[in-house]
């Protein structure tokens, strides 16, 4: 609820929290990475990234490492404050080949 005098707070990305679940028998040998974007002015996470990898989907842990490195780069460069913003930053924006008039 917005403050009656100051209005709604401006939530800014201040930190990211990452949790890596290593493959064990309890996790059915699945590796799971969860990354949360946090702000001190917001109780819940601003955004969440989560990915699971089965044993046959990862090569010596490169995939979780790549995702974590990309998320850190996105956090530093783009400072996303919403789920939509982090999704766009992680996937990149699509582009369309324009038609050129070569005549």
Residues 48, 32 contacting (CB under 8 angstroms)? no
Count of all residues that appear for the chain in the document:
103
In tens, the pLDDT along 64-78 reads 999 999 999 999 999
The DSSP annotation for the chain comes to --BTTTBS------EEEEEEEPP-TTTTT-EEEEEEEE-TT-SS-SEEEEEEE-GGG-STTHHHHHHHHHHHHHHHHH---SHHHHHHHHH-----PPP----
In tens, the pLDDT along 19-57 reads 999 999 888 889 999 999 999 988 999 999 999 999 888
Whose CA is closest to 52, among 67, 41, 39?
Answer: 67
pTM for the full predicted model = 0.80
């Amino acid at each position: 609820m917005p403050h009656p005098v100051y209005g709604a707070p401006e939530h800014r990305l201040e930190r990211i929290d990452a949790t890596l679940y290593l493959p064990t028998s309890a996790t059915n040998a699945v590796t799971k990475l969860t990354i949360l974007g946090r702000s001190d002015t917001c109780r819940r996470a601003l955004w969440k990234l989560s990915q699971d990898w089965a044993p046959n989907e990862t090569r010596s842990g490169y995939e979780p490492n790549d995702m974590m490195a990309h998320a850190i780069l996105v956090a530093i460069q783009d400072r996303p404050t919403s789920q939509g913003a982090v999704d766009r930053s992680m996937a990149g924006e699509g582009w369309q080949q324009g038609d050129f008039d070569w005549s």
